[in-house]
């Protein structure tokens, strides 16, 4: 029975987690944490590009303070650049969640370092209550931890403690969105905009 449960967990994790590493080009930057990525090689039956949400971060939305700055910074860093994408999950909207690397540097970490995104762990409580994509990501990671060695290996590439440390440095230096005394986190901004007006 225990072996059957372990096999089922492994099967479930492998079905939701794609610890794939792809090489290609970023062809569009949608906002401060979402891009369209064109891989060099396409798996059979796949589209010619992937919509990718950068994992472990949440950038200000377009329309909120520093939303445009985050989008422009991401464009300057990745648009039409050769990149490596490590896919770690698929969110509730069908987007791939991944770590993007350009010139051997983590783009995800750069956005946090420059004060243009929140680190994932700092959004966890709010994410569970307000963000479908983060809920999907969190549950996928939990499932994967129970059974997928390849996921555990890929997850090591992005250290959450290091991401939080980068965010603290940006806050201490008051750069990017941390210039505001109390910046509105994007998950709160999205939740407020989704609320019906009376």
Token pair, residue 150, equals 């390849």
Q: Which DSSP string corresponds to 81-99? A: -EEEEEEEEE-TTSPEEEE
Is residue 140 classed as helix, strand or coil in its secondary structure? helix
Catalytic residue among 77, 95, 113, 114: 95
Q: Is 61 a residue of the active site?
A: yes
Distances (CA, A) of 85 to 45, 54, 61: 19, 10, 22
* Strand partners of residue 84: 23, 101
Q: What is the secondary structure of 96-128 as a DSSP string?
A: EEEEEEETTEEHHHHHHHTTSSEEGGGGHHHHH
Helix 132-147 with 2-16: angle, nearest 10 deg: 140
d(CA 9, CA 42): 28
Question: Is 164 one of the catalytic residues?
Answer: no
Q: How many residues does the chain have?
A: 198
For this structure, is 169 an active site residue?
A: no
Dihedral sign for Cα 63, 194, 59, 18, please.
negative
Residues whose CB falls within 8 Å of the CB of residue 182, separated by 6 or more in sequence, listed in order: none
User: Hey, which residues are catalytic here?
Assistant: 53, 61, 95
């Amino acid at each position: 029975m225990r072996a059957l449960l372990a096999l089922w967990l492994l099967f479930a994790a492998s079905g939701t987690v794609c610890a794939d590493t792809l090489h290609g080009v970023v062809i569009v930057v949608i906002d401060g944490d979402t891009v369209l990525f064109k891989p060099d090689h396409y798996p059979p039956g796949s589209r010619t590009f992937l919509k990718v949400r950068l994992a472990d971060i949440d950038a200000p939305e377009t329309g909120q303070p520093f939303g445009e700055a985050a989008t422009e910074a991401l464009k300057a860093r990745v648009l039409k650049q050769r990149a490596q994408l490590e896919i770690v999950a698929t969110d509730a909207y069908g987007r791939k969640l991944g770590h993007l690397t350009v010139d051997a540097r983590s783009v995800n970490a750069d956005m946090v370092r420059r004060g243009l995104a929140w680190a994932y762990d700092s959004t966890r409580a709010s994410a569970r209550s307000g963000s479908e994509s983060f809920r999907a990501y969190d549950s996928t990671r939990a499932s994967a931890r129970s059974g997928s060695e390849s996921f555990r290996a890929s997850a090591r590439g992005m250290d959450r403690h290091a991401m939080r440390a980068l965010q603290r440095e940006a806050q201490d230096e008051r750069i990017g969105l941390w210039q505001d005394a109390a910046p509105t986190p994007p998950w709160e901004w999205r939740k407020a905009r989704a609320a019906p007006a009376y």
